[in-house]
A and B are shown apart, each in its own frame.
Chain A
Amino acid sequence: MGKTSHIDESTVTIQMKDIVKKFGNFVANDHINLTVHKGEVHAILGENGAGKSTLMNVLYGLYRPTEGEIFVNGKKVNIDSPGKAIELGIGMVHQHFMLVQPYTITENIILGMEPVKGLQVDLASARQKVRELSEKYNMQVDPDAKIEDISVGMQQRAEILKVLYRGADILILDEPTASLTPQEIEELIEIIGHLTADGKSVILITHKLKEIKASADYCTIIRQGKYIRTVNVEDVTENELASMMVGRDVEFVVEKKNITPGDVVLEVKNLHGKDYRGTEILKGLNLTVRKGEIVGLAGVDGNGQTELVEILTGLRKGDSGEVYMNGENVFNWTPRALFKKGISSIPADRQKHGLVLEFSVAENLILQNFAEPEFSKKGILNKKSIFDHAKELIAKFDIRPSGCEERPAGQLSGGNQQKVIIAREVTNDTDLLIAVNPTRGLDVGAIEFVHKYIVEQRNKNKAVLLVSFELDEIMSLSDRIEVIFDGTIKGGMAGKDADENTLGLMMAGGNQHE
């Protein structure tokens, strides 16, 4: 990684002055300023809900600003529709792609502005133009590939090409790395380099500090709708960026008490299992987790970690093997029985497994415990104790907005939804906590919070199994790291001895001592 700077300081392409955007009484943007030069990568940094996307939707013509002025190439403009934005050379790649799955990349790119020859769509010339653009920015896109057949990274390139095809000089990328693998992120940063070398400007909406350091020239920080400041990325550290974003100092290193791991809590022996397609994916896996330790399971997605967790939590049946929980073989028990035996989990997909979005926060907080005498007697729910329970946890875990006991969980922000799950699972206080990608999609403040509670469980002498695709997270939290590859444990090491290179090599199937 590494950025290539091509800024032409003499040419300002975008200037947003004192932008205010109100929704009713709610001020989403409160006098925000933004200046972007030709050839510059400008990051917009802020927590979830800080107003980044609102600002960009104003620039792209999706929202009209309540107050403020926008200048493009020195001229004052009135952007009242995305069409107008595109005319002015502004293009936006949304976080969720808008592509027609059975169409080819070329067909998607020309959709809505098909070149015609007589009565026919002139696909040949469009294809040629797409190929030229792809080569110019080194994107390696096959113009004839169908969207449904290509990777997420490729789809994103198709979206970028779509914007370039329409003649954009300023590209807005909304959370572009949210669903990319580390390799794809690196390639994206390279493509961004090619774009700026050609004089294009890129505006990057993100809350990932590492990527800002790797790719951006300037960074504008927004907090709770307010403009904080614009910094030269070279002059600041990740820590400084984080505290500007959150508004207080952020602890990156989690305090860990010194504990010697105790008795074995979970022991998995020779576990075999299939994935959803029926192919064997777990091929004799062995794993132990003891009291008072966090075992980090590192690995590239698709090597069996999902299936392992599903078997451990009862959502999937394994083929053979043994799973001992506090000495008792609990292989293929039901979810309920496993929970009773002391396994709780923070699931990978909080909206699919973790929460019933239509349920209130209070109802979600009793998902496993609704039948306990505290919350129901003879099958009748005790609304008051359920409410009080929620009230207590909302205060303790700072779930926002406060007073959201009766609100549907779906109305909460992603970070707060995760807090609801953490609050529930940590309060369950079982012997083993399994956390799967517990900080995916969260901003720095929320990540710190989640990490604090995971470590606290360990400090309370509970066993924790942490499954994560974020190597940084595994390395900073784990007492012991095990690498999963092709359905077995490839090897392990103490957390304090871990280094990224060895882990990376093992995750790719290499051996520990080569």
Chain B
Amino acid sequence: MNEKKSILNSNALYTLIAIAIGFLVGALFLLVAKINPIEAYTKLFTGVFSKPKFVVWAVIYASPLIFTGLSVAFSFKTGVFNIGAEGQFVVGTLAAAVVGIMVDVPAVIHIPLCILAAAAAGSIWGSVVGFLKVKKGINEVLLFIMFNWIAFYLSNYVVNLEVIHKEGGGEATKDVLESAKILLPQSVRQLTGCSNVNFGIFLAIIAAVVIWFLINKTTIGYQLRAVGFNRNAAEYGGINANRAVMTAMAISGGLAGLGGAVQLLGMSMRVSQFATQESYGFQGITVALIAGSNPIGCIFSGLFYGAMKYGGSKLSLINAPSEVVDIIMGTIILFIAVSHVFKKLALKGKRG
């Protein structure tokens, strides 16, 4: 019985089942659209794995998602739902861009400066919400969503400022200076055949390990988790719950901001004017949910999402809509959520 119970308890099993169902549902939609799902999924797979270069690209796609995933996962662990990672990501990108364009210092200083600026911007964006929640009792979900839009329009405003705007038209900023880019050396880029290979993934892995350590091994993590699970008991035990919520939001926001820096300095190099939200933050929610809010798990679910995004972009080659990836990811989330219900049912009545 113990063995059975441990399998029923295991999140990994349910996650794998949910992923399988996600692909099945995606196949149904493809069939309805008169596209051969086997052909589409083959393309999705070969689009990522047929050349080492493709794998590298998938990893590049994954890096910012790991960060936003970590941001959301961290907030879940501490009892806050950071639906504002989107906005924190945007202000992080923006801060990195401003520093990357306006400040001219050697790379050893410039890169850390850009990254720090991004983390600080995201952190402030999260903290303001935390402050309003703690001091004024405003619902954080509403605040986060509003702050996402404030970040969105702030970014579009800053992009069009003359000092930073690309010369000679176009709806984007100048590129960041060479000294701010986090690309790997030219030799590596040539070897992999991928012009944008950068060390964002290493930063993401380091961040995941640090966050895992912070949550599980430190007194700060202990306090944040206690407040997240049971605020009353935490306060009874002498933990300052308000301060814990503020800390959690600051760290969570900082992580999303870092994601913005990695995307900007390693991939896009400039901020374009948005027509719609880019959704890195919302995709982070998916990454966190698939990972079961485990920081180390976020590395793998982030890579999975990155691969799906990159592979999905090639579906148009066979006239299949890349949106099918969104259907698959959405279905996975739905079934992971449902699995919690099933798990409860399966475990119910096991005690006398």
Interface residues of A (CB under 8 A from B): 21, 23-26, 28-29, 49, 51, 53-54, 63, 225, 313-315, 334-336, 339, 345, 347, 352-359, 363, 367-368, 370-371, 376, 379-381, 383
Q: List B contacts of A24 (CB < 8 A).
A: 1, 4, 350
Give 19 A-B contacts (CB < 8 Å), ordered by A residue. Answer: A23-B350, A23-B351, A24-B1, A26-B1, A345-B236, A353-B232, A354-B236, A355-B230, A356-B226, A356-B230, A359-B226, A367-B236, A367-B237, A367-B238, A370-B219, A379-B219, A380-B218, A381-B217, A381-B219
Q: List A contacts of B219 (CB < 8 A).
A: 370-371, 376, 379-381
A368 to B217, CA, bound (A): 17
A356 to B234, CA, bound (A): 8
B352 on the A face (CB < 8 A): yes
Asked if A357 contacts B230 (CB within 8 A), the reply is: yes
Asked if B352 contacts A21 (CB within 8 A), the reply is: yes
B349 on the A face (CB < 8 A): yes
Asked if B233 contacts A356 (CB within 8 A), the reply is: yes
Interface string of B180-203 (1 = CB under 8 A from A): 000000000000000000000000
Q: List B contacts of A334 (CB < 8 A).
A: 238, 240
Asked if A368 contacts B349 (CB within 8 A), the reply is: no
A73 to B351, CA, bound (A): 30
Q: Within the complex, what minimum Cβ distance (angstroms) separates B146 from chain A? A: 30
Asked if A379 contacts B218 (CB within 8 A), the reply is: yes
B225 on the A face (CB < 8 A): yes
Per the 8 Å Cβ criterion, residues 309-352 of B in contact with A are: 349-352
Per the 8 Å Cβ criterion, residues 226-248 of B in contact with A are: 226, 229-230, 232-240
Q: Within the complex, what minimum Cβ distance (angstroms) separates B313 from chain A? A: 40
A477 to B195, CA, bound (A): 78
Interface string of B208-232 (1 = CB under 8 A from A): 0000000001111111011001101
Q: Within the complex, what minimum Cβ distance (angstroms) separates A237 from chain B? A: 29
A49 to B1, CA, bound (A): 19
Q: List A contacts of B235 (CB < 8 A).
A: 315, 335
Chain B residue total in the interface (Cβ 8 A): 26
A352 to B218, CA, bound (A): 24
Whether A28 contacts B236 in the complex (CB less than 8 A), given A357-B230, A359-B229, comes out as no
Per the 8 Å Cβ criterion, residues 8-44 of B in contact with A are: none
Residue of B nearest to A52 (CB): B352
Residue of B nearest to A364 (CB): B233
Residue of B nearest to A57 (CB): B349
Asked if B218 contacts A367 (CB within 8 A), the reply is: no
A313 to B217, CA, bound (A): 28
Q: List A contacts of B221 (CB < 8 A).
A: 381
Partner of B352, one of A26, A359, A380, A381: A26
Residue of A nearest to B352 (CB): A28
Residue of B nearest to A54 (CB): B352
Partner of A347, one of B236, B238, B239: B236
Whether A352 contacts B232 in the complex (CB less than 8 A), given A23-B350, A54-B352, A339-B238, comes out as yes
Partner of A357, one of B4, B222, B229, B240: B229
Asked if B233 contacts A29 (CB within 8 A), the reply is: no
Q: Within the complex, what minimum Cβ distance (angstroms) separates A190 from chain B? A: 33
A21 to B350, CA, bound (A): 12
Q: List B contacts of A371 (CB < 8 A).
A: 219
Residue of B nearest to A49 (CB): B352
A294 to B19, CA, bound (A): 60
Asked if A335 contacts B238 (CB within 8 A), the reply is: yes
Q: Within the complex, what minimum Cβ distance (angstroms) separates A414 from chain B? A: 13
A459 to B240, CA, bound (A): 34
A352 to B217, CA, bound (A): 25
A334 to B238, CA, bound (A): 7
Q: Within the complex, what minimum Cβ distance (angstroms) separates B257 from chain A? A: 23
A366 to B148, CA, bound (A): 39
Partner of A358, one of B222, B223, B230, B240: B230
Residue of B218, B225, B350, B352 with highest tally of chain A CB at under 10 A = B352
A313 to B235, CA, bound (A): 10
Q: Within the complex, what minimum Cβ distance (angstroms) separates A360 from chain B? A: 11
A480 to B1, CA, bound (A): 52
The 10 nearest A-B residue pairs measured at CB: A28-B352, A24-B1, A336-B238, A367-B237, A353-B236, A358-B229, A54-B352, A335-B238, A356-B230, A356-B229
Q: List A contacts of B233 (CB < 8 A).
A: 352-356, 367
Q: List B contacts of A336 (CB < 8 A).
A: 238-240
Q: List B contacts of A51 (CB < 8 A).
A: 352
Whether A381 contacts B218 in the complex (CB less than 8 A), given A24-B1, A368-B237, comes out as yes
Q: List B contacts of A347 (CB < 8 A).
A: 236
Whether A359 contacts B225 in the complex (CB less than 8 A), given A336-B238, A381-B217, comes out as yes
* Beyond A334-B240, A357-B229, A376-B218, 19 additional pairs, beta carbon < 8 A: A23-B1, A23-B352, A53-B352, A315-B236, A335-B238, A336-B240, A345-B236, A352-B230, A353-B233, A355-B230, A355-B233, A356-B225, A356-B234, A359-B225, A368-B237, A368-B238, A380-B219, A381-B221, A383-B217
Q: List B contacts of A367 (CB < 8 A).
A: 226, 233, 236-238
A363 to B225, CA, bound (A): 11
Partner of B222, one of A53, A314, A355, A370: A370
Whether A335 contacts B236 in the complex (CB less than 8 A), given A25-B1, A380-B218, comes out as yes
Interface string of B56-67 (1 = CB under 8 A from A): 000000000000
Residue of A nearest to B351 (CB): A23
Q: List A contacts of B230 (CB < 8 A).
A: 352, 355-358
A383 to B221, CA, bound (A): 13
Q: Within the complex, what minimum Cβ distance (angstroms) separates A238 from chain B? A: 26
A339 to B217, CA, bound (A): 24
A23 to B347, CA, bound (A): 11
Residue of A25, A29, A353, A376 with highest tally of chain B CB at under 10 A = A353
Q: Within the complex, what minimum Cβ distance (angstroms) separates B201 from chain A? A: 27
A54 to B350, CA, bound (A): 11
A49 to B225, CA, bound (A): 30
Q: Within the complex, what minimum Cβ distance (angstroms) separates A371 from chain B? A: 6
Q: List A contacts of B240 (CB < 8 A).
A: 334, 336
Residue of A nearest to B213 (CB): A380
Q: List B contacts of A345 (CB < 8 A).
A: 236
A347 to B237, CA, bound (A): 11
Q: List B contacts of A49 (CB < 8 A).
A: 351-352
Asked if A379 contacts B1 (CB within 8 A), the reply is: no
A222 to B240, CA, bound (A): 46
A53 to B221, CA, bound (A): 39
Asked if B352 contacts A363 (CB within 8 A), the reply is: no
A23 to B351, CA, bound (A): 7
Q: Within the complex, what minimum Cβ distance (angstroms) separates A148 from chain B? A: 24
Residue of B nearest to A50 (CB): B352
Q: Within the complex, what minimum Cβ distance (angstroms) separates B243 from chain A? A: 11
Q: List A contacts of B4 (CB < 8 A).
A: 24
Q: List A contacts of B238 (CB < 8 A).
A: 314, 334-336, 339, 367-368
A380 to B351, CA, bound (A): 37
Q: List B contacts of A381 (CB < 8 A).
A: 217-219, 221-222
Q: List B contacts of A358 (CB < 8 A).
A: 229-230
